[in-house]
Amino acid sequence: MAVRNQLIRRPPQAVWTVLADPNAYGEWVVGPSESTPLDGAWPGVGARLRYTVRLGPWSLDGVTTVRHTEPGTELELEASFRALGTARIFLQLRPWGEETLVVCDEHPLRGIGGTLHNPAAEALLQLRHRGMLARLAKAVERRQDEVLHA
């Protein structure tokens, strides 16, 4: 199970604002080149996003579904790639003074991703999370700076 933490130098509400914006998904998630809300009010339980991941000449479509939400503090997602299976991604926002500690916990649920999960795959998830959480921090900081300077 890949668990990683990131301190974001903004309050939890600023982080939640980015997580709650379905159009911001491609800004902070590593991989998707485009995302489109399918139904429901993101990030409500059952809401889904369709996205495309491009690797050179290949592309793969996936769907992410909200499985649990505690507005402002928790977001639990199930990412699904038909060929690869599904993964659970749990994001928890913890106030850390005036900042936010984001805890990301991801592990495969179904399909080949779960079958082939091993220490090497775990290491790759850690690298992915490092990039994803850094991108989330930048997106949050950029958005809040834009609001403050508008």
Q: Which of 140, 139, 67 is nearest to 100 (CA)?
A: 140
With residue 93 as reference, give the H or E element that holds it. strand 85-96
Mean pLDDT of all residues in the chain? Answer: 86
pLDDT digits (tens, 9 = 90+) for 101-111: 999 998 888 87
pLDDT at 27: 87
User: Which residue in 3, 6, 2, 4 sits closest to 138, CA to CA?
Assistant: 6
Q: What is the pLDDT of residue 109?
A: 82
Nearest CA to 65 among 97, 130, 109, 121?
109
The pLDDT tens digits of the residues spanning 85-95 come to: 888 999 999 99
Cβ atoms of 25 and 35 within 8 Å: the answer is yes
**Each residue's pLDDT tens digit, 115-130:** 666 676 666 666 776 8
Q: How confident is residue 149, by pLDDT bands cut at 50, 70 and 90? A: low
**Structural domains for the chain:** 2-30+66-148 (3.30.530.20)
* Residues near 58 by beta carbon (within 8 Å), at least 6 away in sequence: none
The pTM (predicted TM-score) of the whole model is 0.87
pLDDT 10s digits, 27-51: 888 776 677 889 879 999 999 998 8
The whole-angstrom separation of Cα 105 and Cα 83 is 22
